[in-house]
Structure 1
Amino acid sequence: MKFERWIRNHTNHLTVITGILIVAGLGAKWLGAAAFSQWLLAIASVIAAIPVVINAIEALRYKTISIELLVSIAVIGAFIIQEYAESAVVTFLFLFGSYLENKTLAKTRQSIKKLTEMAPTTANVVQPDGSVSEEDVDFLDEGDVVLVKTGGQVPVDGTIVSGAGYVNEASITGEAKPVKKQVGEAVFSGSLLTNGTVQIEATKVGDETTFAKIIELVEEAQDAKSPAEKFIDRFATYYTPAVLVLALLVWLFSQDFKLAITVLVLGCPGALVIGAPVSNVAGIGNGANHGVLIKGGDVMATLAKVDTFVFDKTGTLTRGETTVSAYRQYGNAPAVLPLVAKVEQQSDHPLGKAIIDYAADHAEQVAVPQIEQVATIKGQGLVATLENGEQLLVGNLRLLTANQVLITKEQEAAMRELQQAGSSTVLVALNAKLVALIGVADQIRPEVATQLGVLRNLGAQQLIMLTGDNQATAQAVGDQLGLDRVEAELLPEDKLTIVKELQAAGHKVAFVGDGINDSPSIATADIGIAMGGGTDVAVETSDVVLMRSDFAELVHGYGLAQKTMANLRENITIAILTVGFLLVGLMLGYIYMASGMLVHEGSILVVIFNAMRLLKYQVKKPKLDADQVNSTNNVLQSK
């Protein structure tokens, strides 16, 4: 109805008018114009009651007994007993409280507003004839090439096909430091080109872009309810009718109609209903502003209870930026290293990239056999079939053992020496004979050791690393970081088994990985945390996404979840104590309708302002001493 829409659009104006009429009515009463005062207060009551009654009727259409219904009945009752001042003040306070509630809630959703404001709306599309035309981003297609100049926003997810520049990816990763991007590198919608000119071929457009999915994720997260909220919803469903019954009983037994109406007003569970969701919304908003995407109230509540963190190694505890630390070849074949590099091009494993880079700098330019087929053996390595029928194995000791490749004691000692120095080992066998041993080293993230200490201080009882790497290398990392348990040489299903064992032992488990290779464990753990860097898989498969892949974000998210749940409990306590205070005060005679409504609305503001403290939450940053800096900078580097 047009009338209802008009009332909803002008509720704030009606609130102001009601306030003016109340002041005028009370002033007229003070001046002795009692009849005129009653008229003014009655008009104020009617004006303020209209939006309240409309909301109550709307709720009844959906078979819901709302707080507005209680207030509406109370106002009607006040009119019957001609308590116009009471009804005017009650409705005004209710509307004014709703106004303040909406304003303060809007502040907790600033993260969404900031994100949506960053979303690009137009794009400069390069036409087949080389000309450029501005088009709405909604009309872009995959494969379109867009031009972005200095100061412009990237409108699509895509790959740079021409030019170079520095890109600020704060909207995706939360990191404002510009990153250099060149031809062939990926860029994300919503990021800002701070310097340079590039042409980008679109791989994802519109709602499919990473940026759009992040916005959708945060919106869904802020709407998702925690267990406490779900309980309160069920509680309110029965509580509100109970208040109506209580008010009826009070009237039947006391014959005091005014007292019954006052019970209706003071029994409204406003602070209880708003207290839990506002805490979750504020907490999730804080996380989004710090690069931690927490997928809803359920996740927040579970994360706060986590006592065991399980980590993948490569790319999680370590940088994932591996380099070849040693290369030992057995035999005189000159084509071994370039052949291995060619096979590794079929893999996206970090160790493979290190070997490819090393071969580009050290391998001789010689002809190598064509590769007919490459098979990936999960948890072991690669098996390549060459054009001449020979078989090349590139992987770990398990792969060689499965293919009956024997190694000498000297080769075994060399492998053990590399592992003890902190290097992962890649074994290369040609025709069932070991022909090369490659040591690859990875660096521990410099901040990890200190941040793991903060996790312990926040309540983490166990810190565990699960990796497919060899035991010696894994133990070197575990010793450096002071981990409670290190399990190595694991297949993905082995990691999954250990996660399930920890859960069966009664632990709340969070698995922290890259969101791709460890997806079974991330999905099975109570909380899956992706060191995602904004990738699609990370955003979609995990419960929590650390957008910068920064351990400080992990610590912030864990501390934030605990703080949010504590804040939620505080709000529920405040709400319950307020209702108790009002009902006791009503029975003892020191609380009346208007004063009780003032306390009631005040309690709603208290829980909102209490929740808003979460928006400023930050974990105290630990300081690295000189010894920690030096040790973390030098770990896992082979001499």
Structure 2
Amino acid sequence: MPPRCQGGTAAAGDETAAVQPTIDYGERFKYPVLALGISVVATPLEWPFAPAVVGIVLARAAFPLWKRTLANLKRTGRPNADLLDSLWVLVHGATGEALAPALAICLTETARVLRDLTAITGERRKPDRVPNRQYWIERKGRRRLVLAKDLRAGDQVILGSGDRVPGDGVVVGGDGLIDGHDLLGGARLVPRGVSDEVYAASLLTQGCLVVEMRRLGAETRMAQLAETIEERSWKETRIGNYMEEIGNRAVLPAIGASALVFAATANLSRAMAPLQLDFAQGIGISAPVPVLASLHHAARNRILIRSGHALERLAKVDAVVFDKTGTLTERGVEVGALETSLSSVSEAELLYWAASAGRYVLLPFSAALVSHAETRGVALTASDPLDYSDSGVLARVDGAEIIVGTFQFLASRGIPVDAGYHRRHDGVILNRSIRYVVRDREVLGAIFFSNALRRESAVTIETLRRMGIACYLLTGDTSKSANAVAYQLGIRPGCTFAEASPEHKVEVLRRLRRKHDAVAYVGDGVNDAPAMSRADVAVSFQQATDLARETADVVLLDDGLLGLCYGIETAREAMRLVHRNIVAVTAANIAVVAGGIFFDLSTVGAVVVNNGAALLACLNGMRPLYSGERRDPEIERTTLRDDEGLLGIPWRKRGRAGVDGILGGHSGHAGPA
């Protein structure tokens, strides 16, 4: 029987390009162009049957518009801008004036095609629902590490909290909570134990499972579901614009105004002018184009922004909160020093217990421990991991319960650690993190890890500040370790919060959102997911844990922080284009209505101005598709400050309010910067 639980982190995330639909130009333009051509050629010749032929062809061209209008009325019970266009085309067609309606239908359909073409071109390359990452499995009685693509039916896959199920299967060991978001269309946690079925792409959010694979790849339920929704999923990338609702509410007043104008002037042409107050439709067509184009442009530059709504929120970001380990620092860690707290325990024995406990756990500190043990020639034994997260591991080794974890990881299990030692130890300065080793609830000692800063961290912080964005550091690590990173990157003391549990992070995010317009949180671990779900914009990496990547609104596909700066600037430019398009379409619409009422503007002239403005706005919105390649700032230095003076800083005197301070407590967790 395989061990009760096990998991891993993504090793290599594959990407898949969605199958893009095509536009049937012949079907969409056949009748509009035919109606326009006949009205231009036949009407001036005054053929006997010309009006009837033109009217039939025009009715066929307008049929999709009328169909949409009726469908909307049936679905919502409220009129929208399509009703105004339907009435305008119907009245003009009935009076024999076919040229203007045919031209309007042609221009409107052209704008719609441009929007849909942008959606197709902008179909973003997304991380696969089941990335090609590594999993621990049991196969023919042997435990091994394999990629998802190499899994076979019958393999027993060992999953831990935050792992994504690689295929359809049956639980043969353990228990946990599964989030079937991708299959059920919304987050839904369901308990799973022995003999229960689980499906590909669902997330194990809590607990540990051993799952025997039954169906993989194209045979999974997720793959079959994807085939049924693939054809329509691209259409759902269009976002509704906040101006559309205002325009739709103006429909009935416009119809009333049309009736009043006709009653006052008895001029049908002028009475039809208010029916052209359909800026909601023009905005609904033109406003999504820059959003769709920008989503494609961002994806082409290795930044996945999941939706138009996420793009809008990203444009408003004025504060970014960074997790430390794996975000501002590299994910890979190195073992620095080992200290035993019992004279009867040697360093080799301390390393034996710690590395054996994390031997089969694919987390950075566990992998570093195993590598360090092998380098020192310490022979390890098999273990049965019972629970683990980014903060620690709980396992059974040689019959003993071993815990290797942070101060908070131990505290959550009721194991006391000398807080004074924890906070004042010089080992945590210069960005060193502590993992305590506990055997049967007795602390054996501590192991120190170091995480090198990412090369681009300092440049990213500096660039964000120039963009007017405040930067915060929020971490579960020790205050001195957090301060070391903050000091080197130039993050202010009042913006550094340490020793934060996942619950504390959520509360800090809530407080910061009161202070800023929009707050982005950047994290990569399972413990970051709660805070990410509370942020206005959640940002993660392609190589982050499955849970963090699934929670993220923005995924940095090149695993570099500089993509965040480029993504924010792309979002801001997209919203500038949206606002310009709204102004252009609304201004043209109002001008046409006023011109028709007061100056008897010709219907053809009104169509050219009104629909032409929407068409030009669509073309303007496509500009991001032709933007150049992303250019990041040069990385001239990896830190804004060197670490020579860190050990000499009077930490106690320079303390600042940390998490407890912002939550109303008394302990100072932040330090100088």
Normalised to the residue count of structure 2, the TM-score between the two structures is 0.68
Tell me, in whole angstroms, the C-alpha distance in 2 between the residues paired with 1:66 and 1:393: 62
Pairing 1:277-296 to 2, within 5 Å after superposition: 277-296=288-307
Q: Which residue of 2 aligns with 1:363?
A: 377
SS of residue matched to 2:527: coil
Tell me, in whole angstroms, the C-alpha distance in 1 between the residues paired with 2:292 and 2:123: 13
CA contact (8 A) 2:314 2:571 kept: yes
CA contact (8 A) 1:225 1:298 kept: no
Q: Which residue of 2 aligns with 1:102?
A: 112
CA contact (8 A) 1:532 1:548 kept: yes
Q: CA deviation at 1:362?
A: 1.0
Q: Which structure has the highest helix share of the two?
A: 1
Q: Deviations over 1:548-587 (max 9, x none)?
A: 3321332232222222222221111111111121123224
**In the alignment, does 2:359 pair up with 1:350?**
no
Equivalent of 1:528, from 535, 538, 542?
A: 538
SS of residue matched to 2:101: helix
What amino acid maps onto 1:467 in structure 2?
T
Equivalent of 2:353, from 339, 354, 357?
A: 339
SS of residue matched to 1:518: helix
CA contact (8 A) 1:444 1:635 kept: no
Q: CA deviation at 1:594?
A: 0.8
CA contact (8 A) 2:351 2:373 kept: yes
Equivalent of 1:444, from 448, 453, 462?
A: 453
Equivalent of 1:323, from 327, 330, 334?
A: 334
Note closer, same or farther for the CA distance 1:628–1:364 as it changes in structure 2 (3 Å cut): closer
Equivalent of 2:584, from 574, 582, 585?
A: 574
CA contact (8 A) 1:534 1:547 kept: no
How many residues get paired? 542
Pairing 1:549-588 to 2, within 5 Å after superposition: 549-588=559-598
What amino acid maps onto 2:519 in structure 1?
V
Pairing 1:72-471 to 2, within 5 Å after superposition: 72-78=86-92, 81=95, 84=96, 87-111=97-121, 115=125, 143-144=152-153, 205=218, 223=236, 229=240, 231-265=242-276, 269-328=280-339, 333=346, 334-345=348-359, 347-365=361-379, 381-382=392-393, 387=398, 394-396=404-406, 403=415, 416-428=425-437, 436-460=445-469, 462-471=470-479
SS of residue matched to 2:543: coil
CA contact (8 A) 2:509 2:531 kept: yes
CA contact (8 A) 1:56 1:66 kept: no
Which runs of 5 or more structure 1 residues have no equivalent in the other structure? Answer: 1-6, 121-139, 147-155, 159-187, 190-199
Q: CA deviation at 1:274?
A: 1.8
What amino acid maps onto 2:491 in structure 1?
L
Tell me, in whole angstroms, the C-alpha distance in 1 between the residues paired with 2:548 and 2:410: 33
Q: Which residue of 1 aligns with 2:491?
A: 483
CA contact (8 A) 1:262 1:592 kept: no
Equivalent of 2:618, from 608, 614, 617?
A: 608
CA contact (8 A) 2:506 2:534 kept: yes
What amino acid maps onto 2:462 in structure 1?
G
Higher alpha-carbon deviation: 344-353 or 515-524: 344-353
CA contact (8 A) 1:446 1:632 kept: no
Tell me, in whole angstroms, the C-alpha distance in 2 between the residues paired with 1:500 and 1:363: 48
Tell me, in whole angstroms, the C-alpha distance in 1 between the residues paired with 2:224 and 2:367: 28
What amino acid maps onto 1:223 in structure 2?
E
Tell me, in whole angstroms, the C-alpha distance in 2 between the residues paired with 1:97 and 1:436: 75
Q: CA deviation at 1:435?
A: 5.1
Equivalent of 1:492, from 502, 514, 537?
A: 502
Tell me, in whole angstroms, the C-alpha distance in 1 between the residues paired with 2:327 and 2:512: 20
Equivalent of 1:12, from 20, 26, 29?
A: 29
SS of residue matched to 2:448: strand
Q: Deviations over 1:382-429 (max 9, x none)?
A: 56666576x65533456788645669x9x889x833322332233445
Tell me, in whole angstroms, the C-alpha distance in 2 between the residues paired with 1:430 and 1:583: 80
Note closer, same or farther for the CA distance 1:430–1:299 as it changes in structure 2 (3 Å cut): closer
CA contact (8 A) 2:115 2:288 kept: no
Q: CA deviation at 1:325?
A: 2.7
Tell me, in whole angstroms, the C-alpha distance in 2 between the residues paired with 1:95 and 1:67: 14
CA contact (8 A) 1:463 1:483 kept: yes
CA contact (8 A) 1:309 1:509 kept: yes
SS of residue matched to 1:578: helix
Tell me, in whole angstroms, the C-alpha distance in 2 between the residues paired with 1:263 and 1:534: 54
CA contact (8 A) 1:109 1:282 kept: yes
CA contact (8 A) 1:311 1:317 kept: yes
Tell me, in whole angstroms, the C-alpha distance in 2 between the residues paired with 1:265 and 1:403: 72
Tell me, in whole angstroms, the C-alpha distance in 1 between the residues paired with 2:80 and 2:283: 13
Q: CA deviation at 1:596?
A: 0.6
SS of residue matched to 1:326: strand
Note closer, same or farther for the CA distance 1:331–1:221 as it changes in structure 2 (3 Å cut): farther
Tell me, in whole angstroms, the C-alpha distance in 2 between the residues paired with 1:294 and 1:433: 47
CA contact (8 A) 2:502 2:530 kept: yes
What amino acid maps onto 1:248 in structure 2?
A
Tell me, in whole angstroms, the C-alpha distance in 2 between the residues paired with 1:110 and 1:246: 39
Note closer, same or farther for the CA distance 1:439–1:263 as it changes in structure 2 (3 Å cut): closer
SS of residue matched to 1:528: strand
Q: Which residue of 1 aligns with 2:601?
A: 591
CA contact (8 A) 1:299 1:543 kept: yes
What amino acid maps onto 1:315 in structure 2?
G
Note closer, same or farther for the CA distance 1:141–1:348 as it changes in structure 2 (3 Å cut): closer
SS of residue matched to 1:335: helix
Q: Deviations over 1:454-495 (max 9, x none)?
A: 2223331x2111112122221111122222322122211121
Note closer, same or farther for the CA distance 1:520–1:207 as it changes in structure 2 (3 Å cut): same
Q: CA deviation at 1:322?
A: 0.7
Q: CA deviation at 1:97?
A: 1.2
**In the alignment, does 2:486 pair up with 1:472?**
no
Q: CA deviation at 1:58?
A: 4.8
Tell me, in whole angstroms, the C-alpha distance in 1 between the residues paired with 2:355 and 2:87: 79
Structure with greater Cα Rg: 1
CA contact (8 A) 1:312 1:467 kept: yes
SS of residue matched to 2:472: strand
Normalised to the residue count of structure 1, the TM-score between the two structures is 0.71
SS of residue matched to 2:631: coil
Q: Which residue of 2 aligns with 1:197?
A: none
Note closer, same or farther for the CA distance 1:119–1:95 as it changes in structure 2 (3 Å cut): farther
Q: CA deviation at 1:295?
A: 3.6
Higher alpha-carbon deviation: 272-281 or 312-321: 272-281
